[in-house]
Chains A and B, each alone.
Chain A
Amino acid sequence: MSALRPLPHAMSARPDADEQSRLDFAVAFKHLLRGPLKSAIPRIFEERAKLDWAAKHGRAPETWREVGDALTDDLTYRWWSALSRAQQEYYVDVTSTVCERQLPDLIGRYKAIAGNARHGTLTLDPDVTIPPYQSGVDIHCVPGSYFLERTEDDVWAGARSDLGSFVFIMGRNGPLCDDKGQAGVAFLKERFPDFSPKTILDMGCTVGMSTLPYVDAYPDVEVHAIDLSAPSLRFAHARAESLGKAVHFRQANAEHTPYEDESFDLVVSHIMLHEVSATALDAILVECHRLLKPGGIMLHVEVPVRRKDPLDQFLWNWDATNNNEPFWSTLAEMDLRAPAVRAGFDAGSVFETDIPSLTTQGSVWLGYGARKAGDTQ
């Protein structure tokens, strides 16, 4: 198996040979879990678990919860699940310690780059508080989550996200891990060919992986990006500078941002919505509507959590119960049209569609959005 490597930039954590071996192991191990082990589950379900459940209940399991009930005692499912959690914790530990070892160096690089910023800006706001849907559990089982800050100019959480995302997705989102942004841009250009935004806001940008594709997507565009996490934003700022991309990063909560009404032509987010809450989702959509200019577009590129088949849905929801993604399975089932309409968007403009990945054939993202009424300026 060829080992994929991220495209290095000036802020990349640099694993030594042994650390890289551990990361390569984590990826190879995950391939085994996702391949031979996980792919055996549908057959086990059809030939065994489903029949056992039906014998007990007088009918076949219909919902993903019933499928789960039928599968959770199955030996292969249990071992796959246990090993998957072990793999997740293992890779998180390795990426965490790689960044911990290099933290002084990473902070030094951040200060050198940020002190010389020529493209974008960074605005931190110490008054931003972490909402309960982010502080209740450490998302993805990363101890300290996005918010661990233990020293001045701490960038640990950003560095770990940058390294971790690539390993987590096993390199399948491209060398800069920017497929979500690239796919979002490609979707917008195809669906709205005459739309050429001048101002863009990316919500929940973390280290800006998905933000950067928008910088080059449209002529004379001004790109802004917000996140709750100061360590991620410091890293994002230096990362964007080192890659020569102009982005204005700001620490802010997507539920209530500091920007004026009608500031943006396009508001996007990438795999952010599944990490909020039902209440916050409402607030975020209201905020998107407020921030958009008339005729502006909102696009949320999400993990394709909304599955048609109950077995598929149950397996996708593994992350909800086993990888600290508490809102994931709720988002998978909820009506997405209603909150957008409540936020002020015309029902006819709300869309929910598959967005094809540009880096992994056959793979899609969930595209959810709407267009604000009125003519583009």
Chain B
Amino acid sequence: MSGISLTAPLPKASRGERPFALENADHERLLNMIVALMAEVSVLLDQQDTMRRLLVAKGVVGDEEIAHFQPDSEAAAERGAKRAAFIERVMRIVLADAERAGRDDMSYEDVLAMVSRRTPA
């Protein structure tokens, strides 16, 4: 930080035991992450709105033009791929579970036992 020197970084944990209302505290930790992510999506929507308004105000494009924009086939394909990748990123753990369910993986314990077992020559 320019100009001043701080004796310590800004603390992130308030003094006082943190209560958890959900039955599983880890679920509630995830919930807190989701709230923060929801906020960032909200920030992005605001940014997007700012860009649109600036573009319209400066006469670069019209509001109508943005509202009725139709991507050409190349743009539509790129957009579609990005959209699918985004959904896959968010849904990764569920997709992975489904993929794993269709395989006949050796259990991790079996793998551990296998690699740890010293087979006599």
Chain A 151-169 interface 0/1 with B at a Cβ cutoff of 8 Å (1 = within): 1100010000000000000
In-complex Cβ contact of B15 among A78, A92, A103, A136 (8 A): A136
Chain B 13-27 interface 0/1 with A at a Cβ cutoff of 8 Å (1 = within): 111101111110000
Assess A151 versus B7: contact at CB under 8 Å? Given A25-B39, A87-B35, A93-B12: yes
Interface hit among B43-51, B81-89, B92-100, B103-111: B43-51
Which chain A residues (64-93) contact chain B, with CB distance < 8 Å? 72, 77-79, 81-83, 85-87, 89-90, 92-93
Q: Is B61's CB within 8 Å of the partner chain A? A: no
Give complex CA distance A138, B12 in Å. 11
Q: Is B102's CB within 8 Å of the partner chain A? A: no
Q: By the criterion CB–CB under 8 Å, are B10 and A86 in contact?
A: no
Q: By the criterion CB–CB under 8 Å, are A22 and B39 in contact?
A: yes
Kindly provide the distance from the CB of A314 to the nearest chain B CB, expressed in whole angstroms. Answer: 14
Assess A103 versus B46: contact at CB under 8 Å? Given A90-B39, A150-B6: no
Chain B 32-43 interface 0/1 with A at a Cβ cutoff of 8 Å (1 = within): 100110110011
Give complex CA distance A24, B42 in Å. 9
In-complex Cβ contact of A17 among B12, B21, B38, B50 (8 A): B50
Q: Is B28's CB within 8 Å of the partner chain A? A: yes
In-complex Cβ contact of A82 among B7, B15, B22, B42 (8 A): B22
Q: By the criterion CB–CB under 8 Å, are A96 and B7 in contact?
A: no
Q: By the criterion CB–CB under 8 Å, are B11 and A144 in contact?
A: yes
Which chain B residues (63-87) contact chain A, with CB distance < 8 Å? none
Give complex CA distance A317, B2 in Å. 42
Q: By the criterion CB–CB under 8 Å, are B10 and A138 in contact?
A: no
In-complex Cβ contact of A100 among B10, B14, B16, B42 (8 A): B10
Q: Is B90's CB within 8 Å of the partner chain A? A: no
Q: Chain A contacts of B4 at CB under 8 A?
A: 103-104, 107, 151-152
Q: Is A199's CB within 8 Å of the partner chain B? A: no
Q: By the criterion CB–CB under 8 Å, are A17 and B39 in contact?
A: no
Give complex CA distance A24, B20 in Å. 25
Assess A103 versus B14: contact at CB under 8 Å? Given A17-B47, A78-B21: no
Which chain A residues (183-209) contact chain B, with CB distance < 8 Å? none
Q: Chain B contacts of A177 at CB under 8 A?
A: none
Which residue of A is nearest B9, CB measured? A150
Give complex CA distance A367, B23 in Å. 39
Q: By the criterion CB–CB under 8 Å, are B15 and A137 in contact?
A: yes
Q: By the criterion CB–CB under 8 Å, are B28 and A143 in contact?
A: no
Assess A150 versus B8: contact at CB under 8 Å? Given A90-B35, A145-B15: yes
Assess A90 versus B11: contact at CB under 8 Å? Given A103-B4, A104-B1: no
Q: By the criterion CB–CB under 8 Å, are A90 and B36 in contact?
A: yes
Which residue of A is nearest B16, CB measured? A137
Q: Is B3's CB within 8 Å of the partner chain A? A: yes
In-complex Cβ contact of A324 among B6, B14, B28, B43 (8 A): B14
Assess A321 versus B19: contact at CB under 8 Å? Given A25-B43, A151-B7: yes
Q: Is A148's CB within 8 Å of the partner chain B? A: yes
Q: By the criterion CB–CB under 8 Å, are A82 and B14 in contact?
A: no
Q: By the criterion CB–CB under 8 Å, are A138 and B2 in contact?
A: no
Chain A 116-154 interface 0/1 with B at a Cβ cutoff of 8 Å (1 = within): 000000000000000000011110011111001011100
Chain A 321-360 interface 0/1 with B at a Cβ cutoff of 8 Å (1 = within): 1101000000000000000000000000000000000000
Q: Chain B contacts of A268 at CB under 8 A?
A: none
Kindly provide the distance from the CB of B48 to the nearest chain A CB, expressed in whole angstroms. Answer: 11
Q: By the criterion CB–CB under 8 Å, are A21 and B7 in contact?
A: no
Question: Which residues does B use to contact A, with CB under 8 Å?
Answer: 1-8, 10-16, 18-23, 28, 31-32, 35-36, 38-39, 42-43, 46-47, 50
